Amino acid sequence: MGTVSLAVQLFIVFLLTSYLLNKYSTIRKQNPIVTISTFIGWYFSLIIVFVLPLDVAITFFHKCENDRQRVLNTTSTPAPIVPECELPGGYVPDDVLFDLWRVVYWSAQILTWLILPLLQSYVTAGNFTIFGKIRAAVINNTVYYAIYSLCFLAILIYAMFKGVSINIFRENLKVILVSASNTWGLFLLVVLLGHGLVELPRSLWHHGNRHYRLRKTYFDIEKLASEKSEAEENVKEIYKKVRVLFNSMKNDQNGQRRKVRTILSKFSDDVIDQLFPSRQVIDNANMEESGDYCSEAKLINLHKKTIYAVQTLNNATAQWKVLVDRALFLENLAFSESNGYNLDLARNTCVPVGVRRFWYTRLQTPFCRVLGVVTVFMTFFVLLSECTFFVVSYTVSPAAFVTEYASNRFHYKYTQFVAFGIIVYLITCAYFTIFRLQIYKYYHLDPNGHTDENSILFSAILLCRLTPPICLNFLGMIHMDSHVSMAKSFGVETQFTKLMGHLDVIPILAKGINIYLPICIILLCAIHYYRVGAYVLHNIGFDQFVESDEMTNDMINSGRSLVQIERNSIKRSNERNQRNQSWTNTITSNTSTTSNAVNKYKRSRKNEEERPMLEEEEEMEEVSSTTRISLSPTEHPSSSGFFDDM
């Protein structure tokens, strides 16, 4: 039964990973190797999050068994009645759980340190063959691997000087490898938690303030407008060069024209039609130095620049569309509330329109405010636990106190739910920063499926490197890692800790994690809470959203004007489509009316042609007799039918 429960959890994680990957990337357009590698990196990272609470509950079960056995062995006869320890839900044997951790952890480490960096360089390489791209990726990562090799050697030499016996067949070398990986992850954890623990509650609180969201969206639109314009000009310039170079190689015999055609294929038809409404601009373009690009190295460099420019333009265009749609929706929502009109919503989702309208107009604001207050409480809960988890004489850490209380007061199987809640909030704060992080022209995750391959691979690298240190930090917070919290009386440890080992093999890490980790997290939280970085960047010339600032207000007004231009453009486009549809319906109706008249005439002619010949002969005889009677030579024709004949 426990194995089935574990399989169900793994399947749920599989579905969640598939949903996130489909939400943030276009699976059909990107390289299958990129998709598979990213999926494995995300999947294994989420497995650690979902299965670790089960490991904690099983560890409390083993502690219960040890305590029970100790009571039975130390008491005198007759032996007291000690209740049996109940298995937690989803219990699996220790060897199964340990093998799962071994496969998940080492696969994620191989991905994040070897495979994913190579794939990043591979997808951005400008070479025209697979072997050339692999060669360029290896060369680009040589410096990267050299730096990490030096760091590992430094840690190894430091451990040897401190008296640690290094034997490749023993456990210490494995712990040093894990420590070298987790050291980088701990630094990343400090930065991401320092940002996420503050920004997640702030974002939820501001999400319930529509006026703030609308002003912030105007500001982001104006800020993005210059970047989008710069990206468009860069793509125009590169496309002109490539097109003129392609036209100048009509008589090429060395296969260079085929490589230039490969570069041209990076420009989609939509981008060309948008940037070059008149193709004459391209045909008349002139580039005197086109001969300088005929060498292999020049073409590779041009190809790499093309990939980078197109990715930058696609990211800017995707962000522009998202921001404009958000601004239009918030304007419509504000207008409907102020004028008492019903909000017009699209009918392309499975949720009824009435339910969504009630959510946006009535429930969204109070729900986000309540959720913001809850996350503020959780932030203080985590910060206090980070600052007090090394105090073991009394259980001062809130995380350890709640976990121990759930184990003693109710049942240790409830610790699985408590542990899941704490670790999910830690992961949410860290992942919130990863999924919201934007590195200028390098990394951006778009939730509408427009993320480029380089960004999606970089996110997998961050998740694989970050998740194990977060779990080690969590185990220290709840006093489950005895070497971190110095709580030696617990007696048992999780299977995850048995695999990862302890950081006290390297003394500087064992001592520093208790002191410097909480200090750095609190310091970064204070910096982000008072927005010190935003004010510093704003004062040195970088655009930052600062309330009640003149430059910010000017950018907000400019963004509002850009949104109005987009609204007018959409309105004209809709009116044009309506006119075209009206003309199409009119022409269709006229055509159908004409065709009906023609068909009616043809049917009448057909009926006339199908009359019996005898009837026609009788009519002919009647007409001829009447004519003979009326036209007798002795009688003048009557004037009564004169005008009828005419």
Task: Say yes or no: 513 and 384 in one domain.
Answer: yes
Residue 558: inside a domain, yes or no?
Answer: no
What's the total number of domains in the chain?
2
How many other CB atoms sit within 10 Å of the CB of residue 505? Answer: 21
Q: Which parts of the chain sit beneath pLDDT 70?
A: 1-2, 74-83, 159, 162-173, 252-254, 277-294, 340, 347-349, 392, 410, 412-413, 439-441, 482-491, 501-514, 592-646
- Of residues 504, 493, 486, 518, the one with CA closest to residue 392: 486
Kindly provide the b/e burial profile for residues 148-171, where b requires at least 16 CB atoms within 10 angstroms of the residue's own CB.
Answer: eeeebeebbeebeeeebeeeeeee
Task: Say yes or no: 194 and 90 in one domain.
Answer: yes
- Of residues 560, 536, 488, the one with CA closest to residue 219: 560
User: What phi and psi, each to the nearest 5 degrees, are found at residue 446?
Assistant: -100, 125
- Of residues 51, 43, 42, 49, the one with CA closest to residue 8: 51
How many other CB atoms sit within 10 Å of the CB of residue 351? Answer: 10
Query: What are the angstrom distances between the C-alpha of 644 and each of 183, 622, 640, 641?
Result: 112, 18, 8, 5
Residue 543: inside a domain, yes or no?
Answer: no
Look at residues 498, 530, 562 and tell me which one is the last residue of a structural domain.
530
Are residues 200 and 380 in contact, defined by beta-carbon separation less than 8 angstroms?
Answer: no
DSSP line for 408-461: III-GGGHHHHHHHHHHHHHHHHHHHHHH-EETTTEE--TTS---HHHHHHHHH
pLDDT tens for residues 196-238?
999 999 999 999 888 999 999 999 999 999 889 999 999 988 9
Q: How many helices (H) and strands (E) does the chain have?
A: 24, 2
pLDDT tens for residues 19-34?
999 888 888 888 889 9
Contacts of 129 (CB under 8 A, 6+ apart): none
What is the model's pLDDT at position 61? 83
Contacts of 407 (CB under 8 A, 6+ apart): 60, 414, 415
How many other CB atoms sit within 10 Å of the CB of residue 17? Answer: 20
Task: Round to whole Å and give the CA distance between 63 and 415.
Answer: 13
User: Which token pair is 473?
Assistant: 């930090």
Task: Say yes or no: 379 and 423 in one domain.
Answer: yes
User: Which token pair is 288?
Assistant: 């005197």
Are residues 37 and 464 in contact, defined by beta-carbon separation less than 8 angstroms?
Answer: no
Task: Round to whole Å and give the CA distance between 287 and 57.
Answer: 70
Residue 623: inside a domain, yes or no?
Answer: no
Task: Say yes or no: 90 and 234 in one domain.
Answer: no
What is the model's pLDDT at position 204? 92
Task: Say yes or no: 217 and 190 in one domain.
Answer: no
- Beta pairing partners, 444: 438
Look at residues 511, 530, 549 and tell me which one is the last residue of a structural domain.
530
Query: What are the angstrom distances between the C-alpha of 399 and each of 225, 285, 419?
Result: 46, 67, 9
Category of 90 on φ-ψ map: left (φ > 0), alpha (ψ -120 to 50) or beta:
left
Task: Say yes or no: 386 and 523 in one domain.
Answer: yes
Task: Round to whole Å and give the CA distance between 454 and 456.
Answer: 6
Query: What are the angstrom distances between the C-alpha of 208 and each of 242, 378, 510?
Result: 48, 19, 43
Residue 181: inside a domain, yes or no?
Answer: yes
Residue 627: inside a domain, yes or no?
Answer: no
Task: Say yes or no: 315 and 354 in one domain.
Answer: no
What is the model's pLDDT at position 287? 47
What letter represents residue 615's amino acid? E
Are residues 33 and 453 in contact, defined by beta-carbon separation less than 8 angstroms?
Answer: no
Q: Indicate the pTM of the whole model.
A: 0.81
Residue 550: inside a domain, yes or no?
Answer: no
CB-count exposure of residue 445 (10 Å: 0-12, 13-18, 19+): buried
Task: Say yes or no: 412 and 275 in one domain.
Answer: no
Task: Say yes or no: 277 and 194 in one domain.
Answer: no
pLDDT tens for residues 25-76?
888 888 889 999 999 999 999 999 999 998 888 888 888 888 777 777 765 5
Task: Say yes or no: 268 and 360 in one domain.
Answer: no
For CA atoms 96, 99, 103, 106, give the dihedral sign: positive
Are residues 563 and 555 in contact, defined by beta-carbon separation less than 8 angstroms?
Answer: no
- Of residues 315, 489, 301, the one with CA closest to residue 395: 489
What letter represents residue 461's amino acid? I
Question: Which domain does 450 fall in, by range?
Answer: 1-208+349-530
Task: Say yes or no: 13 and 153 in one domain.
Answer: yes
Residue 336: inside a domain, yes or no?
Answer: no
Residue 64: inside a domain, yes or no?
Answer: yes
Task: Say yes or no: 192 and 305 in one domain.
Answer: no
> Which DSSP category does 340 fall into?
T
Look at residues 484, 499, 530 and tell me which one is the last residue of a structural domain.
530
Query: What are the angstrom distances between the C-alpha of 139 and each of 117, 130, 144, 148?
Result: 12, 14, 10, 15
